Amino acid sequence: MDFKFYFSLFLRRIHWFMLFLIIGSAIGLTLAVVLPPVYVAKARLLVESEQIPGDLAESTVRIEATEQLQIIKQRILTRETLVDMANRLEIYGPRGGGQRPRMTTDELVADMRTRVGIITSGGAQRRGPTLATLVDVNFEAATARMAATVTNELVTLIQRQDVEMRTGVAGRTLDFFEQEVDRLDAVLAAESAAILAFKEENQEALPDSLDFRRSQQAGAQERQVQLERELAGLNDRRSRMESLRAEFESSGQTPAGPDRTPEEIQLQALEEELATLLSVLAPANPKVKLLEARIAGLRARVEAQRAARGEVSDTGTPLTNFDLQMEQLEGQIEYLVSQRDQLDETLASLAASIEATPGNAITLETLERDYANSRREYDLAVAKRAQAQTGDIIEALRQGQRISVVEQAVVPSEPEKPNRKVVAAAGVGGGMFLGLAMVALLELLNKGIRRPVDLTNRLGITPFATLPYYRTRAELIRRRMIILCILGFFLIAIPAGLWAVDTYVIPLQRLLDMITARVGLAGVLPDAATALV
């Protein structure tokens, strides 16, 4: 290989190499100077387990640590939260100045989301023991103090979201069970009132008194048979007495009256004495008047005694023994008939209640079963409410699972990126590579004859001598001046253009982010994609 020849070709094309070297170097050095420093403040959080053993008092918040951290991260990265934090901490400078007019709200939110880093590690593993759940929080900013301030604010937001989420879940759980207890209490009151109303409405036909009513029915039936037997005997006796009266009346005899009292005997004697005196004395005689007075008083006493004994008819005439017996017999028959009617009513009522008892038993059993089910639900709800109260107290006192700060964010002493040496070296190296590639490409595309050996290889002739092409001094100077002007133009124009774009059009970092995102190199070029203004 003729290295001398290829070196001469390189020297002939060196202006192209220098052009791309200057372009790459200008871009790399300009970016290394213009790109602002990026400070990253970091903090570390730890998800602590419950402070009280679960077998003694258990929290009602059953969310896993990783799931909870994912929810908290999504809440922090919401549009409202990020915009509020950017305005409150003046991350992009005071309102109305700095870079604020150059960013829309959507761009601000997107930029904030690229700056915030919330990374979770540890937790439950598929294989091996469970590791402690750690949360690394970081924020990238143009100043070290701003990075630390925003990182600590993120830590505060995470802890606040953790407390609000857990206390909110515990509070909502407690509210639910309190409402459930109140609802079931009202259901129990309504069902107990329904049972009471049903029992009061059907108190004579309830299943718990069925045996008693059946025994009452049996006793009433026995009493009914006895009354029928007694009524049959009394009716037979009345028939015989009526036959006896008919015999007396047909024979012209009068039934004997009842036994006379001493007053009646005395009254009869006085009446006989009065009749004897009236046959001798005049009616106006004092003895006659005195005797009539005694007879009147004694007669009043006798009538009162007869009325008290029921021995006087409605017309006032004395009753005979037969009349008294018949009257007493009629009274007994009337009493027994009334007793029989009452027993009939009682038996009909008992039969109706016994017949209605099975249906009432089914209805009452349904009501009591519903009440028992509601009571079990009520007791369970009361027990759950007690657990919810305990869980709410645990979360209020922060004795459950909690996120604590292991390492607070401090002001970083040095920027983390960009690596200016690497950026500058990448620009110079890229320019050299593109320059060499351009030289090689031009030579490959050039099919002309440049060496005597090319004549032999292509035309098959061997030249005696070759004369190179010589330029005049003026041509050389003009050519070198053009090359130097072009190189100087790019050397000055590229840094100036990048500075103007960064100052007046769009920050270079945002431009790089847009370019890397468009070509899909956001993850491949992390230094360029994550360097922040």
In this prediction, residues 167-187 reach a mean pLDDT of 90
Q: Label residue 99 exposed, middle or buried (CB < 10 Å: 0-12, 13-18, 19+).
A: middle
> Given this model, what pLDDT does residue 527 score?
43
Cis peptide before 418 (omega within 30 of 0): yes
Q: Label residue 458 exposed, middle or buried (CB < 10 Å: 0-12, 13-18, 19+).
A: exposed
Beta carbons of 107 and 506 less than 8 angstroms apart: no
The structure tokens listed for 297 are 């008083």
Cis peptide before 101 (omega within 30 of 0): no
In this prediction, residues 24-29 reach a mean pLDDT of 77
Ramachandran angles phi, psi of 318, nearest 5°: -65, 145
In this structure, the number of other CB atoms found within 10 A of the CB of residue 530 comes to 22
Q: Give me the percent of the chain exceeding a pLDDT of 90.
A: 13
Rg (CA), the chain: 64
Please give the Cα distance from 159 to 167 (Å, whole number). Answer: 12
Beta carbons of 330 and 323 less than 8 angstroms apart: no
> Given this model, what pLDDT does residue 379 score?
94
HSE at residue 265, side-chain half, CA atoms within 13 A, is 5
DSSP state of 397: T
Query: Which residue's structure tokens are 């008992």?
Result: 350
Residue 523 pLDDT class (50, 70, 90 cuts): very low
Beta carbons of 61 and 162 less than 8 angstroms apart: no
C-alpha closest to that of 191 among 17, 364, 422:
364
Ramachandran angles phi, psi of 131, nearest 5°: -100, 160
> Given this model, what pLDDT does residue 42 score?
92
Helix, strand, coil percent values for the chain (each to nearest 5):
70, 5, 20
Beta carbons of 487 and 22 less than 8 angstroms apart: yes
- Say which residue, 476 or 87, is predicted with more confidence: 87
| pLDDT over 70 (residue 517) | no
Q: Which residues partner with 417 through β-bridges?
A: 38
* pLDDT tens digits along 466-513: 666 666 777 778 877 877 787 777 777 777 777 777 666 666 666 666
| pLDDT over 80 (residue 346) | yes
| pLDDT over 50 (residue 528) | no
Q: Which of 234-243, 342-351, 366-375, 505-514 has the lowest mean pLDDT?
A: 505-514
> Given this model, what pLDDT does residue 96 score?
41
Query: Does the CA dihedral 83-84-87-88 come out positive or negative?
Result: negative
Residue 97 pLDDT class (50, 70, 90 cuts): very low
User: Which residues are CB-contacts of 10 (< 8 A; sequence separation ≥ 6)?
Assistant: 17, 439
Cα separations (Å) of 46 from 64, 137, 155, 158, 302? 14, 11, 11, 11, 120
* pLDDT tens digits along 316-329: 555 556 666 777 77
Please give the Cα distance from 524 to 49 (Å, whole number). Answer: 38
Residue 256 pLDDT class (50, 70, 90 cuts): very low
385: three-class secondary structure by DSSP: helix
Q: Label residue 331 exposed, middle or buried (CB < 10 Å: 0-12, 13-18, 19+).
A: exposed
**Average pLDDT across the chain, whole number:** 78
Please give the Cα distance from 482 to 177 (Å, whole number). Answer: 88
C-alpha closest to that of 510 among 493, 482, 533:
533
| pLDDT over 50 (residue 98) | no
Q: Which of 164-178, 340-354, 449-463 has the lowest mean pLDDT?
A: 449-463
In this prediction, residues 294-306 reach a mean pLDDT of 73
Cα separations (Å) of 264 from 66, 108, 259, 294? 121, 135, 10, 13
Beta strands across the sheet bearing 402-407: 116-123, 131-141, 39-48, 402-407
Beta carbons of 302 and 270 less than 8 angstroms apart: no
Say if pTM beats, i.e. exceeds, 0.85.
Answer: no
C-alpha closest to that of 294 among 314, 277, 316:
277
